[in-house]
Amino acid sequence: MREVAFIKQNKEKWLEFEQAIFGKAKKNPDEMAGLYIHLINDLSYAQTYYPKSKTVVYLNYLASQIYQRIYKTKRQETNRIVYFFSTEIPLLIYQYRRYVLYAFVLFFVFVGMGVLSAKYDDGLARLIMGDEYVNQTLENIKGGDPVAIYKSGSNWGSFIGITMNNLKVGAMCFLLGILAGVGTFYIMLQNCLMLGSFQYFFYQEGVFWESVQGIWIHGSMEIFAIVIEAAAGLLLGASLLFPKTYSRLTSLKMGMKNGLKIYLSTIPFTIAAGFLEGFVTRYSLEMPNWLNVFIILSTLSLISFYYLIFPSIVAKKLKSQNSLPSFE
């Protein structure tokens, strides 16, 4: 059968599926499971005879959305929050893993730009961080405590203030993606240039290791979370620019919904980073090196596993049960 005939034959059925997924039509989990089986059959046929067609992409997306709807609406023994973090978010990250890749590429490129710019322009650190901050840090370095700035204020005050600021930055990184991704691009550029020039500034002053001890105890999760939030912003921008077979408004709604879920998943890590910065970072130079390195590697390993490894584990498990279409 030619692809045009295949589409014409099944178009009405697929539109009905769209209404069941995104419209107001209410269907119970058993009905949704029936739709899912039909879609999987159509998807298998399309993958066999039209492997490089947009029809495959379209059907694959519908099938994945029905799958998520089944597991969202049916009664579950696990807590909804547990399901959100253990299944729903890993599947979303796996489905949109290319945006995570794009965000990390931008991160490393922009940080590298910050390092090189600071190396060849002595005034960049002052331009980005401000004269007051740089002068205070230079005084702290002379005093033998390069990261003393993290010891100012009370534990709880620092924790709350830092956490709220980081949540705001993450939200902006995601929400500004609606500007065709340009807003997310700008937030990433701004923060990564600051990070790169900041680290090179400490290297230039001969206290690079001390800065690593003071910054990356909390920075591992804080900065990693911002990269994931940037991925959510890029997803939002792409949903506006590349609606595929959907109307631009429908695509934008789906991008906003899925991007918001990804952003929400970073909040516990952002709060944990704020707690570490408020209560632990201030003791970074007093604690043994092995403990400092252990905290940095532990926090980095935890968030890396959750966003980079765990999604593949969950997807592979569900694929082996023939209950998940391939997100290709």
Measure the CA–CA gap between 201 and 52, rounded to whole angstroms: 50
pLDDT at 75 over 50: no
Residues 6+ apart with CB under 8 A from 88: 68, 71, 72, 261
Angle, helices 97-120 vs 182-204, to 10°: value is 40
Mean pLDDT (whole number) for 257-283: 92
Measure the CA–CA gap between 178 and 204, rounded to whole angstroms: 38
pLDDT band at 27 (very low <50, low <70, confident <90, very high): low
Q: What is the pLDDT of residue 301?
A: 97
pLDDT in tens, 35-59: 777 778 888 888 888 888 888 888 8
pLDDT in tens, 80-135: 888 889 988 999 999 899 999 999 999 999 999 999 988 888 777 778 777 787 88
pLDDT at 24 over 70: no
pLDDT at 17 over 60: yes
Mean pLDDT (whole number) for 275-285: 85
Measure the CA–CA gap between 305 and 3, rounded to whole angstroms: 41
pLDDT band at 73 (very low <50, low <70, confident <90, very high): low
Mean pLDDT (whole number) for 63-84: 68
Measure the CA–CA gap between 79 and 152, rounded to whole angstroms: 40
Residues 6+ apart with CB under 8 A from 15: none
Measure the CA–CA gap between 169 and 137, rounded to whole angstroms: 23
Q: What is the pLDDT of residue 97?
A: 93
pLDDT at 326 over 50: no
Q: What is the pLDDT of residue 82?
A: 87
The more confidently predicted of residues 61 and 249 is: 249
The more confidently predicted of residues 107 and 314 is: 107
List C-alpha distances in Å: 65 to 72, 95, 258, 313, 327.
10, 11, 11, 19, 11
pLDDT in tens, 129-168: 777 878 888 888 887 777 777 666 678 888 898 899 999 9
Q: What is the pLDDT of residue 328?
A: 44
Q: Is the pTM of this model over 0.85?
A: no
As a whole-number percent, the residues of the chain with pLDDT over 70 amount to 89
State the DSSP H helix or E strand holding residue 274, giving kind and residue range, or none if neither.
Answer: helix 248-279
pLDDT band at 32 (very low <50, low <70, confident <90, very high): low
Contact of 196 with 119, CB cutoff 8 Å: no
